[in-house]
């Protein structure tokens, strides 16, 4: 079933990306995109016995991830709608349930509180409806685990655009990493001093990094934190004021667009700060920035071509290797008769490659 | 809603290795954490009346009931349909030129399947499904036997021992659902393994005697091993503490101390375990099965709710059986060696062919051979 993971993720991200562009958390907007994409048809097509159930289970597990941090509130609302849509469109009977893990409960709770406070009635209504329909399993983990150790573990990538950027710096610079950086830096200074011509004094020619890197980084992060908290408070204050004068009106007046602006400002600020703090990462930050303004997210969520594939392509284009060289050679003999080759091709055709 | 600091609690399952296994936690404590955070109606088997739900929503959100009605219309699942209700749609067919990537993949496969002469649905999948569906939503005849609301259901995979050559590369297993309040011995009794049915001895002179000695009745000792504790089955006087040898060996090799407990005194709720982590079930002295808890969750109204059906077998790997060398039809029951009448040595026979070939009409042994009862790995299919 794992071969369905990449296309399923791509489809979900396509839907959520379109939802993100509406700059709204309204269910109506979501449903319109869902219908336009004919998303219910994701369950169509003949599947053997158990396959239908396993597929439902898989897609619910994938959609569940968008309902959790580190995604933005808007994407999480989209994730919730996605779960709701998938739960109702699935063809298995009785329906497969959405697995809610105990460790994620806190986030769900917080999400609900946020939605209530911002008077997003549709978000709250749909969440409550899923509860009353008994659409959840209250489970230990989001999926069954059976010690499936893989040689090449699948990486969990979060689509950049869906990321709630406000937590990024916090995630990046924890007290652990800070300590690690300080340790590495201390060691670095020592090594520099050791190789220097004047013992105990590092060569000024290789003075490339601020001596008090750790302390500076820490204070910068703290300053950013404070700034962030303050803006957060200011934003909440604005919201409260808005909420008091109009009942349902505020929920229509899109809170999330102001949030998006805010996130954008945090984004630009946070990049500015980090770039100042560490010069060595500048090129990486620049990359991030350009990617964030790139219009098509689908291409970015894709993995780069593997080294093996690149080498193969290069060899092929240079003409130094012929196609047949790259065809698999059976290990127990180095040559192959014409007949075998034909047989090999035929066999290749027969088995379906995912 | 005491969920605030839930994640600082050690009994909240979290990954030790992502997608592979969790850190250890106490099953009973995990259950109480869920129960503390949820309201009983969340895991109740009954529906809350819709009017009540709506009224509660209106009150908590401070909106008039007209707004709730409006919301209901806006958020109805009907809004997800791209086609009108009455349009007859064949859901077995992938729509033409699908834009969804998932569908393109499925279509590719469907098109490929049509090129095949015959479509062999994997029997494995087919039967696995059947078992699961059979029990779904089952209710007991006696209401006393109803699984209580808020009971835990654990899924346990019991892998087949690697005693057979053909189990080396796959991981065939049985899956059971057990209740948190059940005892470990209940799971032990539910596990079926061919080595319990093994009959030892040579019976060529008295073939009718054979089936009376089944290993399960002879060697009753067994243990489970979870998180540093051996749970021994000591229900019968002839049971031996199989873990003793291991404990003593571990002591002399500077291993951390292991503990022992009685299998019959321990319920699953009392265990400390990791989900996804391989543990051990050992019986018949040396038949070892890897045991993995794949899931723990609260019971749901769509589950099998008849307590008497637990431990519930939800998946069983079907093993290819070895057929009789004569008729190629029935599963083998006898294995012979030094057999002049057999085409090979050793040779497998079903009961009928074995007797027909090796004994005359009075039941006298013909020729020289040794015969041992044979239990096929697929005997439980
Ligand atoms: Zn066994
Ligand atoms: Zn036969």
Distance B357 CA to ligand 2 centre (A): 10
Do residues A242 and A141 touch, judged by C-beta distance below 8 A? no
Average of pLDDT values for B172-177? 88
- pLDDT exceeds 90 at position A289: no
Residue A167 CA to residue A112 CA, distance in Å, equals 19
- Count contacts between A and B (CB, < 8 Å): 221
ipTM of this complex: 0.87
pLDDT value, residue A242: 39
> Higher model confidence: residue A252 or residue B353?
B353
60-99 in chain B: CB under 8 A from chain A: 60-61, 63, 67-68, 71-72, 74-75, 77, 79-82, 91-95, 98-99
pLDDT value, residue B315: 84
Does residue B223 sit within a domain? yes
Do residues A70 and A16 touch, judged by C-beta distance below 8 A? no
pLDDT band at A342 (very low <50, low <70, confident <90, very high): low
Q: What does pTM read for this prediction? A: 0.73
Does an H or E element contain B78, and which? none
Does residue B9 sit within a domain? no
Nearest to residue B166, comparing CAs of B4, B322, B18? B322
- pLDDT exceeds 90 at position B323: no
Contact B110 A31 (CB under 8 A): no
Residue B340 CA to residue A170 CA, distance in Å, equals 80
| Closest residue of chain B to A88, computed from CA coordinates | B77
Q: Which of B284, B316, B348 is the last residue of a domain?
A: B316
Average of pLDDT values for B329-358? 90
Whether residue B200 lies within 8 A of chain A, CB to CB, comes out as no
Question: Considering only A229-243, A309-323, B157-171, B289-303, which range has the smallest mean pLDDT?
Answer: A229-243
- B274 and B304 fall within a common domain: yes
- B306 and B343 fall within a common domain: no
From the list A34, A134, A352, which residue is nearest B109 (CB)? Answer: A352
- pLDDT exceeds 60 at position B160: yes
Mutate: best of A147, A149, A302, partner B, most B CBs <10 A: A147
pLDDT value, residue B8: 62
Does residue B107 sit within a domain? no
Which residues on neighbouring strands pair with residue B232, listed in sequence order?
B223, B262
Range A301-337 burial, b when 16+ CB lie within 10 A, else e: beeeeeeeeeeeeeeeeeeeeeeeeeeeeeeeeeeee
> Higher model confidence: residue A314 or residue A125?
A125
- B373 and B249 fall within a common domain: no
Q: Which of B262, B284, B316 is the last residue of a domain?
A: B316
From the list B30, B101, B301, which residue is nearest A102 (CB)? Answer: B30
From the list B6, B275, B296, which residue is nearest A106 (CB)? Answer: B6
Distance B191 CA to ligand 2 centre (A): 29
Contact A105 B93 (CB under 8 A): no
pLDDT value, residue B161: 78
Does residue B102 sit within a domain? no
- B177 and B257 fall within a common domain: yes
- pLDDT exceeds 60 at position B114: yes
Ligand at shortest distance from the CA of B280: 1
pLDDT value, residue A350: 55
pLDDT value, residue A249: 34
- B232 and B285 fall within a common domain: yes
Residue A331 CA to residue A192 CA, distance in Å, equals 51
Q: Which of B316, B345, B364 is the last residue of a domain?
A: B316
- pLDDT exceeds 60 at position A323: no
pLDDT value, residue A75: 95
Classify residue B362 by its DSSP letter.
Answer: T
Domains contained in chain B, number: 2
Contact A106 B13 (CB under 8 A): no
Q: Phi and psi dihedrals of A224, rounded to 5? A: -60, -45
Q: Phi and psi dihedrals of B259, rounded to 5? A: -120, 165
- pLDDT exceeds 60 at position B119: no
pLDDT band at B125 (very low <50, low <70, confident <90, very high): low
- B277 and B357 fall within a common domain: no
Residue A126 CA to residue A80 CA, distance in Å, equals 8
> Higher model confidence: residue B60 or residue A207?
B60
Does residue B172 sit within a domain? yes
pLDDT value, residue A24: 92
Do residues A55 and A1 touch, judged by C-beta distance below 8 A? yes
Which residues on neighbouring strands pair with residue B291, listed in sequence order?
B158, B279
- B254 and B371 fall within a common domain: no
pLDDT value, residue B27: 97
- B296 and B348 fall within a common domain: no
Ramachandran area for residue A147 (φ above 0: left; ψ -120 to 50: alpha; else beta): left
- B163 and B260 fall within a common domain: yes
Average of pLDDT values for B186-210? 81
Contacts of A94 in chain B (CB under 8 A): 136-137, 302
The mean of the pLDDT values for chain B is 85
pLDDT band at A293 (very low <50, low <70, confident <90, very high): very low
- pLDDT exceeds 80 at position A302: no
- pLDDT exceeds 80 at position A51: yes
- B244 and B371 fall within a common domain: no
The tens digit of pLDDT for each residue in A126-154 reads 999 999 999 999 999 999 998 887 777 66
Mutate: best of A137, A140, A252, partner B, most B CBs <10 A: A140
Q: Which residue range is the domain that position B175 belongs to?
A: 123-198+210-316
From the list B47, B80, B296, which residue is nearest A40 (CB)? Answer: B80
| Cα distances (angstroms) measured from residue A237 to each of A141, A231, A234 | 37, 10, 5
Does residue B180 sit within a domain? yes
Average of pLDDT values for B26-53? 92
- B132 and B276 fall within a common domain: yes
- B185 and B239 fall within a common domain: yes
Ligand at shortest distance from the CA of B193: 1
pLDDT band at B197 (very low <50, low <70, confident <90, very high): confident
């Amino acid at each position: 079933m794992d071969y369905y993971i990449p296309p399923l993720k791509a489809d979900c991200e396509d839907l959520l990306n379109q939802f993100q562009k509406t700059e709204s958390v309204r269910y109506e907007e979501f449903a319109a995109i869902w219908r336009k994409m004919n998303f219910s048809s994701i369950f169509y097509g003949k599947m053997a016995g158990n396959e239908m159930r396993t597929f439902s289970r898989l897609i619910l597990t994938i959609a569940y991830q968008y309902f959790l941090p580190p995604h933005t509130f808007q994407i999480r609302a989209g994730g919730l709608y996605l779960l709701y849509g998938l739960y109702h469109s699935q063809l298995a009977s009785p329906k497969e349930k959405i697995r809610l893990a105990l460790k994620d409960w806190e986030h769900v709770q917080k999400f609900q509180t946020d939605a209530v406070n911002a008077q997003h009635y549709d978000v709250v209504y749909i969440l409550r409806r899923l509860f009353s329909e008994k659409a959840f399993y209250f489970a230990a983990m989001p999926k069954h685990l059976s010690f499936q150790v893989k040689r090449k573990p699948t990486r969990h990538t979060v689509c950049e655009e869906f990321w709630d950027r406000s937590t990024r710096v916090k995630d990046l610079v924890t007290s652990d990493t800070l300590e690690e950086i300080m340790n590495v830096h201390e060691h670095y200074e020592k090594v520099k001093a050791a190789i220097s011509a004047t013992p105990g004094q590092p060569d000024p020619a290789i003075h490339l990094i601020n001596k008090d890197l750790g302390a500076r980084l820490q204070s910068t992060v703290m300053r950013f934190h404070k700034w962030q908290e303050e803006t957060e408070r200011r934003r909440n204050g604005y919201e409260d004021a808005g909420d008091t004068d109009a009942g349902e009106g505020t929920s229509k007046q899109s809170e999330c667009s102001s949030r998006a602006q805010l996130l954008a400002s945090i984004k630009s600020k946070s990049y500015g700060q980090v770039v100042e703090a560490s010069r060595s990462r500048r090129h990486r930050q620049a990359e991030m920035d350009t990617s964030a303004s790139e219009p098509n997210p689908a291409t970015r969520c894709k993995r780069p071509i593997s080294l093996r594939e690149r080498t193969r392509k290069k060899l092929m284009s240079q003409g130094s290797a012929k196609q047949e060289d790259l065809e698999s050679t059976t290990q127990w003999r180095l040559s192959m008769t014409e007949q075998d080759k034909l047989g090999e091709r035929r066999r290749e055709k027969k088995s379906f490659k995912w | 809603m005491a969920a605030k600091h839930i994640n600082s609690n050690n009994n909240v399952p979290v990954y030790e290795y992502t997608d592979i296994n969790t850190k250890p936690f106490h099953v009973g404590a995990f259950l109480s954490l869920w129960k503390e955070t949820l309201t009983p109606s969340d895991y109740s088997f009954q529906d809350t009346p819709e009017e009540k739900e709506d009224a509660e929503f209106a009150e908590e959100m401070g909106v008039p009931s007209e707004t709730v009605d409006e919301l209901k219309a806006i958020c109805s699942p009907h809004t997800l349909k791209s086609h009108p209700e009455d349009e007859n749609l064949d859901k077995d067919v992938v729509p033409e030129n699908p834009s969804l990537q998932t569908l393109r993949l499925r279509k590719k496969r469907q098109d490929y399947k049509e090129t095949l002469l015959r479509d062999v649905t994997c029997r494995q999948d087919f039967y696995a499904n059947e078992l699961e569906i059979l029990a779904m939503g089952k209710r007991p005849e006696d209401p006393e036997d109803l699984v209580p609301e808020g009971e835990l259901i654990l899924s346990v995979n019991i892998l087949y021992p690697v005693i057979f050559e053909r189990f080396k590369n796959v991981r065939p297993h049985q899956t059971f659902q057990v209740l948190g309040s059940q005892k470990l011995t209940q799971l032990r009794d539910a596990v079926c393994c061919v080595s319990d049915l093994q009959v030892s001895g040579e019976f060529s002179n008295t073939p009718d005697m054979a089936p009376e000695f089944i290993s399960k009745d002879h060697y009753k000792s067994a243990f489970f091993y979870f998180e540093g504790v051996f749970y021994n089955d000591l229900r019968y006087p002839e049971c031996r503490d199989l873990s003793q040898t291991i404990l003593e060996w571990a002591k002399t090799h500077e291993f951390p101390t292991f503990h022992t407990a009685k299998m019959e005194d321990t319920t699953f709720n009392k265990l400390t375990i990791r989900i996804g982590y391989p543990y051990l079930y050992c019986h018949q002295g040396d038949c070892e099965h890897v045991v993995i808890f794949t899931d723990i969750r609260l019971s749901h109204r769509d589950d099998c709710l008849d307590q008497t059906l637990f431990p519930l077998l939800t998946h069983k790997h079907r093993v290819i059986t070895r057929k009789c060398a004569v008729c190629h039809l029935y599963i083998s029951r006898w294995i012979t060696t030094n057999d002049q009448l057999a085409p090979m040595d050793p040779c497998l026979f079903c009961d009928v062919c074995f007797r027909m070939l090796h004994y005359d009409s009075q039941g006298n042994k013909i020729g020289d051979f040794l015969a041992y009862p044979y239990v096929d790995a697929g005997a439980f299919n």
